[in-house]
Chains A and B, each alone.
Chain A
């Protein structure tokens, strides 16, 4: 009996010791310190949308290392070594994934840069084109202005030339008329020989002289004409006055008959007044018997 009690108590002690040892063993399956942190680091990397799938081999290695680090280990330095190595593997995987990600991004970046370069070149070309167009427009404008200036100059020159030409033409016509410029205007003297003696009728020979006058008046329509009749001192004043008036009228009616407007023509009988030579001699009296056609000077502005 004593023996059996002793045996029982020995068994009890042994069981207690064993259970204590077992408890110690049961306490051991705890992850080594730091393992949880490393696992979470790896999980974070795996969940990263940019990096999670980019270094599969390194991540697999890291996972194995983390699994090893998570194993309960009584040898604490070894456990810490495993945790450290696992941490390095995770870091390694992250860095490799980053490199891969950067390389993948580079294709897009290169494309973006090429696009920007192309845009920039297109833009430069457009700007250059615009400049050329502006320059061209400028030069066209300048050319136009130059042309215009030249045109103006030509016109002015032409105007001058034309004025000179007109003046020359006028002078030629005046010369043709054998008219004498005076303060009152151009004076054309129709001599006594053009009229039948003592009569107001024009001789046919007068037509040549008067036709030149008509053509001149047609050419210069702004000019008006005053027709004045004169006689010598022979005969009564009344007769002479009447004769000079009729002769002036006769010239007027000839001109009107050839198309010169009657409103441009005025007539005056001056009789014996206004002799141009002495009435003592026959030649002087002949000079005094005459009709003077005074063509008014034009208004200064309108030459014609």
Chain B
């Protein structure tokens, strides 16, 4: 019986340390973790849009995406994680819109070129048939 009480006494220190750790962890838990996944997704979306020449076709959306990514990083530093997550998501949405607009502009450009070349063919034909009635 005495041994047991001694053992209990001996284990008081680790128990206290554990209790303190839990308290510290609880303190940490009151601040949410950084939205690392959202930030990574935003970065990926921005770099994808950059590779697709989004700066040329959707400059406004690209600059919005970049400034929101910067704001998200700043919010993380300030430990405003909810704000950081929102900025990250907005940045990603901006970058994705930029990519989609780029694709749209490119597709329309291709169509315009086709229309132009068809028009040229028809014009050419009219001209030559005008020369030789």
A binds B: yes
Please list the residues of chain A having a beta carbon within 8 angstroms of any beta carbon in chain B. 77-78, 81, 84-85, 88-89, 91-92, 95-96, 98-99, 102-103, 105-106, 109-110, 112-113, 116-117, 119-120, 123-124, 127, 130
Contact B93 A85 (CB under 8 A): yes
Residues in B with CB closer than 8 Å to A117 are: 121
* A92 close to B97 (CB less than 8 A): yes
Query: What are 12 inter-chain pairs, A to B, with CB distance below 8 A?
Result: A78-B86, A91-B101, A92-B93, A92-B100, A95-B97, A95-B100, A99-B104, A106-B107, A106-B114, A116-B121, A116-B125, A127-B132
Q: Is the Cβ of A91 less than 8 Å from the Cβ of B97?
A: yes
Most buried by B among A78, A95, A112: A95
- What is the 8 Å Cβ interface bit string for chain B, positions 62-94, against chain A (1 contact, 0 not)? 000000000000000000000100100110011
Q: Please, how many angstroms separate the alpha-carbon atoms of A92 and B45 in the complex?
A: 13
- Contact pick for B114, options A96, A98, A99, A109, CB 8 Å: A109
Contact status B129-A123, CB under 8 Å: yes
Report if A109-B90 is in contact (Cβ < 8 Å); known contacts: A120-B124, A120-B125, A130-B132: no
List, in ascending order, chain A residues with CB within 8 A of B125's CB: 116, 119-120, 123
Q: Which B residues lie within 8 Å of A99 (CB)?
A: 100, 103-104, 107
Instruction: Given A102-B104, A123-B129, decide whether A109 and B111 contact each other with a Cβ distance below 8 A.
Output: yes
- When distances are taken between beta carbons in the complex, the residues of chain A under 8 Å from B115 are 109
